Amino acid sequence: MASASTTEVFNCTPAEFFKIVIDYPNYPQFLSEVKKCTVLKTEGERKLIEYQVSMIKSFKYSLWMTEQEPGLVSWEFAGGDIFKTMKGHWKLEDQAGKCRATYFVDATFGLFVPGPVTKALLDVNLPNMVSAYHKRIKTIYGK
């Protein structure tokens, strides 16, 4: 099992950040490891999203995303190539007109991935993802 968490303050409102998080088809424009992101099904506030990702190797997985505007986007594993389980969330809070965002993910792999490799992937990917969201906010909102 691998888990990661980070909290960051972004230069936008929680509602603005929420819009970026749920704009799944545009993930490839700013998250370099995401090659394609497709909404497969919508059921109320839940969406089944298929991710095609390339990190060391290419793989696909699907997550049920639950959108609770404006403060929470959570997910749970639906199926895929590499993961056995995955759950997580973005929790968004106002902090003096900015967005305090907490990201959490917990996953188990369906195949053996050595602990040091898992840790290295998380240690590199998490800061890169946070940086990509900062850049996306600047691109979309000019902030």
Residue by residue, pLDDT tens for the chain (143 residues) are 688 899 999 999 999 999 999 999 999 999 999 999 999 999 999 999 999 998 777 889 999 999 999 899 999 999 998 889 999 999 999 999 999 999 999 988 877 666 666 666 666 788 999 999 999 999 999 98
Give the total number of structural domains in the chain: 1
Q: Give the Cβ contact number of residue 98 at 10 Å.
A: 17
Sign of the dihedral through C-alpha 95, 22, 51, 55: negative
Q: Domain span at residue 83?
A: 2-141
User: Sign (positive/negative) of CA torsion 66, 32, 128, 117?
Assistant: positive
CATH of the domain at 83: 3.30.530.20
CB neighbourhood size of 2 (10 A): 17
Exposure of 55 in the CB half-sphere (CA atoms within 13 A): 20
Contact yes or no for 139/30 (Cβ under 8 A): yes
